[in-house]
Structure 1
């Protein structure tokens, strides 16, 4: 039976079991001893790292402490400035709008707008952190996950960027665990599968379960299973216009 507790920031934590609750408590004792800044995070964050490592306290603690070290180096100011990712934003490839039926924020990515030849990998990594922070900050209370629609219509060799995909996976899986709720892959061209075979081994088992490849002929029907028409982007037969990530509100 689920149990409830208020977290330090006032948000209610719904535990899936007493075992999970107790393990988060033990994990907190360990990570706070190793890195006192751990006291600043709530139980929800620790639980995400714990769940990402199948409730293994040792593995979860190691991953979390690695995250704290990475965060201080990658985001020293606490946020990514739009001035530091202006080339990535100029491609207008990521939009945020609406919520699915579970209250998860929806992001829409257009793969054909990503230009492999012009990208700087360090700026791209900052861009990934920027968009993940934006998605997480815009979640309603009680929700920890987001949903992404990856639209690959028109995707070709100039958009194929295996290194960027692996970098995005590394950041999301190691530093934003248990944030992805579902990833819809739509309008997938045949040539994409060559790149997919290279990237696939870098996807962890939890992430693999959340990836759904959607056939064009049942696109709208599939999306409507998870997203009400009022929250679905107009380009997929819904009623909401797309909003660029930088214009989305938290």
Structure 2
């Protein structure tokens, strides 16, 4: 028994040592990448190391790939959000659909976002892109201290051909993956109609491998149990049997 306990302690020490070494390597790469991107674009000085780290992790700690992605992001942000943020007055049609909400935290302390896909309608693509940025900025601003990711429930109840906006879906995916990497913690897709799979097949090839691992299709019969594995009942939105009323994203 003593030998077994000693072996367990040794393994724990080794794991701890490897984790510390990995963190040190990551921190060093963050410093190197920061120096590179600041030399290319001085506005990079305004972002914190957590953002640099997210871009690094999105590219498996490859400094060159992460730096290129980050510099493209800075250029995009300056052009697409020149005032620093998107105002509600810039996306009136998208907000009128009343399709995105926030409520509660999962068991890891990540904010919960609920999107009703059946309420989405094809609209002006530029306004939709602004809506995506507006919502992601809202979500990020609601992150508890020490948290960087959010959990999303994509509810497709009532989804039909009129909601099949492949162009919009691909635009949203591109913004999420390229401009807000490592922000999505998990995506539960619920109340999935068979019809949706046609749209899914068109979008799936454009989802990167990291994001694919975060997507879970949930059967109706196991919806509540699946959500409760990740979310305490006290934090569950009322639409899924919990006590918390959904809050529109513009009021979050």
1:177-196 equivalent positions in 2, closer than 5 A: 177-196=181-200
TM superposition shift of 1:15: 9.1
The equivalent of 2:162 in structure 1 is 158
Tell me which protein shows more helix as a share of its residues: 2
Query: Corresponding residue for 2:148?
Result: 144
SS in 2 for 1:153: coil
Structure 1 position 42 matched with structure 2 position 48: yes
Asked if residue 174 in structure 1 is aligned to residue 178 in structure 2, the reply is yes
Cα RMSD of the aligned pairs, angstroms, is: 1.4
5+ residue gaps in structure 1? 4-13
**1:94–1:110: 8 Å Cα contact kept in structure 2?**
yes
Q: Tell me the equivalent position of 1:94.
A: 100
SS at match of 2:221: helix
TM-score of the superposition, structure 2-length normalised? 0.92
**Equivalent residues of 1:2, 1:17 under 8 A apart:** no
**C-alpha distance in 1 between matches for 2:180 and 2:114:** 18
| Residue 115, structure 1, aligned to residue 121, structure 2 | yes
> Which structure 2 residues correspond to residues 66-77 of structure 1 after superposition, within 5 A?
66-77=72-83
The two structures have a TM-score, normalised by structure 1, of 0.92
User: Any gaps of 5 or more consecutive residues in structure 2?
Assistant: 1-15
2:219 paired with 1:219: no
CA contact (8 A) 1:15 1:21 kept: no
Alpha-carbon distance, 1:237 to partner: 1.0
Name the CA distance, whole Å, in 2 between partners of 1:2 and 1:132.
36
Shift of 1:235: 1.1
Structure 1 position 16, deviation (Å): 5.1
Aligned to 2:10: none
Distance in 1 of aligned mates of 2:143 and 2:17: 22
Does the 8 Å contact 1:104/1:147 carry over to 2? yes
Establish whether residue 25 from structure 1 lines up as the match of residue 27 from structure 2: no
Q: What is the aligned length? A: 236
Give 1:28 shift: 0.7
What is the distance in 1 between the residues matched to 2:154 and 2:74?
A: 29
Structure label with greater radius of gyration: 2
**What is the CA–CA distance in structure 1 between the aligned matches of 2:139 and 2:169, rounded to whole Å?**
18
Cα distance in 1, alignment partners of residues 112 and 209 from structure 2: 22
